[in-house]
């Protein structure tokens, strides 16, 4: 080989000049390659400059999003108390148990079974949550600290806890419809919890921290916002009076096998709601079986035809307009009256009655004859003046307006039936408030669920004389010869009116009833108004005097004694006619 090389050299032929190896390239190609390489390096340099110099803030944010976290510092929800400071709703510290599914996947099976048991979960449901592709998943909210301690002792990687609060209601079902409840996020859902959500909830705080890949806080980087706890709420409700009202209402529902019932107790002097109860009810501490029927606050949200508890307003208006006096005679025989093509009647024929007796005996015929002496507009103005057909001005969700049709469309028969509470719809709390004009000598004041020490500002609806006259009639109606002798209270003079109304099904009345009674005591110086409504009593009795009046009597007797109200009569034995007593047994 060396010889061959020498030979080639000897012949004068250069190695580089070999036609095989001598490949000639255009000069521009090498320059293009050089330019491309230079451009690539320039682009890399520019990108580095962009990332390290001009995009620093963006990259820092991206990096921080992977290790920095904003922790919410929950505010403690304000307490709800009754007028005497008794706690009706308070918050308990608990924990939320959450997991990083990827980190929990390698946990031993026996520990996961124990975790499911502590969380009161099915093991299959727990594993389903842990199979999630998410980086964060709640396992259970509002877990008590004792259980959380046991979970921590299991030492399962990826299982973490977070501080939160759980609402507790000491009075349970007794005050459920007033206080309401919160959801798992501690936000009000019903009652006062919903109505005053903003004030009760307060303002949450926050702080910035650095966490490792296991979710553990390794450094506090500040930027703290202090949480502001919610404000406490003091209600006008008296816990003792509430229990009295609730327990007696429950007895009536059980005794008469009623579908539902409601009761409200008002302070005549201040307009404060001292008690409000509904049945059926629910336990706000355990809502696992809560139904819509239990949730309804019937005293505020349900409307019904009030029946005869409307008669005092018709008679008061006639007295006010000087169309009649308490002693004016009204012929009610033969116990019925035909107006147009319709006939209305009394439960019992009475003959000639005075106006006072019309109310005492609850005569539909007598009330209708009095009403037809007036203009529809006058009656409509009276009804609206006491708040009927208007939404109550209460800081409470769901209160309804009821219905009073415009007077221009009233027919004579409709005017007659409205005079004794048919063809008109109201809520129980509206009826309770409207009776303030008789208890307060003709003056109407607003009602409230808040404790107040200020003297309420009212407006006059009827004169003091008219109010006193009707009050005397209402005392007769609740007396031995009236429709509600069972409303009497030993030691106290009481006044009130019964109501018994058929229920509407579609556009027809059916043989189902709403029994009601609204009254106040003591008559000499009224302190409380008690309104009772029992829906569909089905144990044989359905009149207001048989079903609702006894509830009024029991509640009023206990409440007046609880309030230390002095008796206004020396009579301690009530008088109930033998036939009435026999019917109620």
How many other C-beta atoms are found inside a 10 Å radius of the C-beta of residue 29? 9
Cα–Cα distance, 435 to 312 (Å, whole number) = 9
Distance CA 88, CA 180 (A): 10
The answer to whether residues 424 and 303 touch, using CB atoms and an 8 Å cutoff, is: no
DSSP state string for 164-230: EEEEE-TTGGGGHHHH-EE-TTS-EEEHHHHHTHHHHH-B-EEEEEEE-TTS-EEEEEEEEE--BPP
The set of residues, in sequence order, having a beta carbon less than 8 Å from that of 278 and lying 6+ positions away, is: 177, 260, 261, 262, 296, 297, 298, 299
What is the C-alpha to C-alpha distance for residues 319 and 466, in angstroms, rounded to an integer? 6
CA 289 from chain center: how many Å? 17
List active site positions: 308
Q: Is the dihedral of CA 364, 369, 372, 378 positive or negative?
A: negative
Q: How far is CA 381 from the centre of its chain?
A: 31
Cis geometry, peptide bond prior to residue 334 (ω within 30 degrees of 0): yes
In this structure, are residues 265 and 274 in contact, taking their beta carbons and an 8 Å threshold? yes
C-alpha dist (Å) from residue 546 to 8, 164, 186, 470, 554: 139, 50, 44, 23, 13
Tell me the Cα Rg of the chain: 40
Alpha carbon distance 209, 221 (integer Å): 5
What is the helix, strand, coil percentage profile of the chain, to 5? Answer: 40, 25, 35
Kindly list the distances between the CA atom of residue 529 and the CA atoms of 119, 288, 431, in Å, as whole numbers in the listed order. 49, 36, 10
- Taken as a whole, the chain contains a residue count of 585
Q: Is 302 left (phi over 0), alpha (psi -120 to 50) or beta?
A: beta
């Amino acid at each position: 080989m060396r010889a061959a090389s020498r030979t080639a050299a000897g012949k004068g032929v250069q190695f580089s000049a070999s036609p095989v190896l001598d490949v000639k390239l255009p000069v521009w190609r090498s320059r293009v390659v050089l330019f491309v390489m230079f451009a690539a390096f320039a682009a890399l340099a520019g990108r580095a400059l962009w990332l390290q110099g001009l995009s620093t803030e963006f990259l820092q944010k991206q990096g921080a999003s992977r290790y920095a976290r904003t922790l919410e510092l929950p505010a403690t929800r304000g307490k709800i108390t009754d007028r005497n400071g008794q706690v009706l709703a308070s918050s308990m510290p608990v924990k939320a148990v959450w997991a990083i599914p990827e980190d929990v996947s390698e946990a031993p099976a026996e520990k996961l079974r124990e975790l499911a048991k502590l969380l009161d979960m099915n093991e299959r449901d727990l594993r389903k949550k842990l199979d999630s592709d998410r980086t964060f998943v709640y396992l259970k909210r509002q877990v008590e600290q004792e259980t959380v301690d046991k979970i921590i002792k299991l030492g399962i990687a990826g299982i973490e806890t977070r501080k939160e609060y759980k609402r507790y209601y000491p009075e349970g079902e007794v005050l459920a419809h007033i206080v309401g409840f919160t959801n798992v996020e501690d936000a009000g859902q019903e009652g006062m919890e919903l109505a005053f959500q903003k004030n009760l909830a307060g303002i949450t705080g926050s702080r910035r921290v650095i966490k490792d890949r296991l979710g553990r806080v390794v450094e506090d980087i500040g930027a703290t916002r202090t949480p502001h706890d919610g404000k406490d709420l003091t209600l006008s409700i008296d816990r003792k009076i509430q229990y009295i009202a609730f327990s007696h209402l429950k007895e009536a529902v059980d005794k008469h096998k009623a579908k539902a019932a409601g009761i409200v107790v008002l302070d005549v002097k201040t307009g404060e709601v001292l008690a409000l109860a509904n049945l059926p009810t629910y336990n706000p501490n355990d809502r696992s079986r809560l139904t819509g029927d239990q949730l309804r606050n019937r005293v505020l949200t349900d409307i019904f035809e009030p029946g005869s508890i409307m008669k005092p307003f018709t008679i008061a208006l006639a007295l006010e307009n000087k169309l009649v006096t308490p002693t004016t005679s009204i012929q009610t025989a033969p116990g019925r009256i035909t107006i147009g093509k319709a006939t209305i009647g009394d439960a019992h024929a009475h003959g000639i009655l005075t106006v006072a007796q019309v109310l005492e005996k609850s005569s539909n015929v007598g009330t209708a004859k009095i009403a037809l002496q007036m203009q529809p507009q006058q009656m409509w103005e009276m009804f609206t003046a006491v708040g009927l057909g208007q939404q109550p001005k209460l800081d409470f969700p769901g209160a309804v307006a009821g219905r009073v049709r415009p007077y221009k469309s009233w027919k004579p028969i409709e005017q007659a039936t409205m005079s004794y509470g048919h063809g008109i719809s109201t809520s129980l709390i509206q009826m309770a408030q409207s009776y303030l004009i008789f208890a307060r000598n003709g003056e109407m004041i607003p009602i409230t669920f808040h404790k107040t020490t200020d003297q309420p500002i009212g407006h006059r609806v009827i004169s003091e004389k008219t109010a006193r006259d009707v009050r005397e009639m209402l005392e007769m109606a609740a007396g031995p010869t009236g429709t509600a002798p069972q409303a009497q209270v030993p030691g106290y003079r009481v006044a009130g009116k019964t109501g018994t109304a058929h229920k509407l099904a579609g556009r027809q009345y059916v043989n189902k009833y709403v029994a009601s009674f609204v009254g106040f005591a003591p008559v000499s110086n009224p302190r409380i108004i008690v309104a009772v409504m029992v829906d569909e009593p089905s144990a044989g009795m359905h009149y207001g005097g048989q079903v609702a009046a006894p509830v009024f009597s029991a509640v009023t007797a206990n409440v007046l004694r609880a309030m230390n109200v002095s008796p206004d009569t020396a009579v301690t034995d009530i008088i109930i006619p033998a036939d009435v007593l026999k019917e109620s047994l």
